[in-house]
């Protein structure tokens, strides 16, 4: 770590005790993101959650993100760089948006998720849960945050593996129309996994920059 970076970190730690709890606000947004992935899992398993419920959670996540951005605008110093907090928040928001859009598109096409979709959604939920556990460590002991990022990345990559397995099974069924439709609806799960991994990558960047 450079001398300048060390000085900046010391400055932030000196002042963040009287600054807005921006890490707490990030965790609050993250918990809504976890609730959204849990709801998406329920929807993917054929539960009672629908796209409207996911849209409501996406709105709640937007409100939490606005609260964090407002705090960043007024904070003199933060435990980690403001840019990192902003990017972590923005990337979590992208995941929630993707889940909402997936449910809306599926309902518009009258497509019901199957067991493959449910397994992919379960990995997304586990990955987001790990990320938010990592966020909570950004006040001091950053090493567990890196471990959490690794777990989230592993879950994201499991989604991609399950996506390939699902598409292979679809095309092996001999029903070309069902295979094409299914592939298009499975693909957003893989895209959401890419977005989740992007959050994990940024979390690791924060750990490397501040440890």
Q: Per the structure block, which two tokens stand in for 49?
A: 């959650």
CA distances, 167 to each of 108, 124, 172 (Å): 21, 18, 9
Rounded to 5 degrees, φ, ψ at 61 are -65, -40
Distance in angstroms (rounded) separating the CA atoms of residues 80 and 145: 13
Contacts of 46 (CB under 8 A, 6+ apart): 112, 113, 118
Q: Which of 153, 165, 162, 166 is nearest to 194 (CA)?
A: 153
User: Percent helix, strand, coil in the chain (nearest 5)?
Assistant: 80, 0, 20
C-alpha dihedral sign at 132, 138, 141, 145: positive
pLDDT at 16: 45
User: Is 98 within 8 Å of 195 (Cβ atoms)?
Assistant: yes
| Local structure of 59: helix, strand or coil | helix
Does the predicted model carry a pTM greater than 0.85? yes
Distance in angstroms (rounded) separating the CA atoms of residues 112 and 43: 9
pLDDT at 150: 97
Identify the DSSP state of 88.
Answer: H
Q: What is the pLDDT along the chain (211 residues), one digit of tens a residue?
A: 455 555 555 545 544 445 689 999 999 999 999 999 999 999 999 999 999 999 999 999 999 999 999 999 887 778 889 999 999 999 999 999 999 999 998 888 888 898 999 999 999 999 999 999 999 999 878 899 999 999 999 999 999 999 988 888 777 666 666 666 667 788 999 999 999 999 999 999 999 987 5
pLDDT at 15: 47
Distance in angstroms (rounded) separating the CA atoms of residues 157 and 173: 25
Q: What is the CATH number of domain 3-210?
A: 1.20.58.220
Q: What residue spans define the domains of the chain?
A: 3-210
pLDDT at 110: 86
Q: What angle do CA 14, 24, 196 make, to 5 degrees?
A: 120
């Amino acid at each position: 770590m450079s001398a300048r970076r060390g000085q900046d970190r010391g400055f932030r730690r000196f002042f963040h005790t009287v600054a807005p709890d921006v890490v707490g606000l990030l965790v609050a947004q993250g918990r809504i993101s976890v609730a959204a992935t849990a709801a998406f899992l329920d929807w993917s398993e054929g539960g009672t959650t629908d796209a409207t419920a996911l849209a409501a959670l996406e709105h709640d996540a937007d409100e939490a993100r606005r609260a964090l951005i407002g705090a960043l605008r007024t904070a003199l110093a933060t435990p980690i760089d403001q840019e990192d907090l902003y990017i972590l928040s923005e990337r979590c928001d992208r995941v929630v948006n993707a889940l909402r859009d997936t449910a809306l598109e599926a309902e518009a096409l009258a497509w019901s998720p199957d067991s493959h979709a449910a397994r992919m959604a379960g990995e997304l939920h586990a990955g987001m849960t790990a990320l938010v556990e990592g966020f909570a460590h950004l006040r001091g002991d950053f090493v567990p945050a890196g471990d959490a990022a690794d777990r989230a990345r592993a879950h994201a990559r499991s989604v991609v593996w399950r996506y390939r397995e699902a598409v292979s099974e679809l095309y092996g069924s001999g029903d070309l129309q069902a295979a094409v439709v299914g592939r298009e609806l499975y693909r957003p799960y893989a895209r959401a996994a890419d977005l989740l991994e992007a959050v994990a990558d940024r979390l690791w960047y924060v750990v490397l920059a501040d440890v």
